[in-house]
Amino acid sequence: MWITKLALDYLKPDSEDAKSKALTDSIMGIPAYAELIQSHQGKRINLEIVANGFMRKFSLTKPGASLCARAFVSSIKTADFLTPDGTLGAVSQRTVDNNLNDPPPPLLDDDKNPPLQGFTLILDPKKGRKIVIQAPPSVSESELKRIQAWLGFQLLVVPDGESSPATE
């Protein structure tokens, strides 16, 4: 079974604070989230302002930015970073600083599965568009069908010649 130490700490904590620390580390490991948390501590979270920030910083459409903002708020609620009135509580500065430049935790293996390999498909070199996949070196035919179905569901497919709403 492939699972990160962080996921193990959350799913099967071995100390009283392991689960909450794993959740905090996960959220603070996302640079955009850590930046928002730093700048909004002690303030009420305004979903529209967060969405506007995502729109400007990442050149997203309004619906895409709104979705990201809702995901951010959901994440900080799950981690109990919000007070009942919607104010972002204090998150330790040490956690924020330590996690911004940390590499992702390594995957743990159980000797039954080969290590994962990285694969990159360049979609448009001029625009820097690519798909990066981390996967085992081989998959079965049934797994390939599941992957294809999953990609078809995950990616917004637009007709050739049209631009993606996320790039407008």
**CA-to-CA distance for 163 and 154, rounded, in angstroms?**
17
Identify the pLDDT of residue 7: 85
Give the other-Cβ count within 10 Å of 72's Cβ. Answer: 22
Q: What is the pTM of this model?
A: 0.55
Identify the pLDDT of residue 100: 42
- 94: tokens are 């040490």
Sequential DSSP letters for 93-106: HHHHHHHHSPPPPP
**pLDDT averaged over 10-residue windows placed end to end, the chain, 168 residues:** 78 90 89 90 93 92 93 92 88 48 49 67 80 81 85 75 60
Identify the pLDDT of residue 47: 94
Place of tokens 């955009």: 32
Could you state, in order of their start, the residue ranges of all structural domains in the chain? 3-100, 114-167
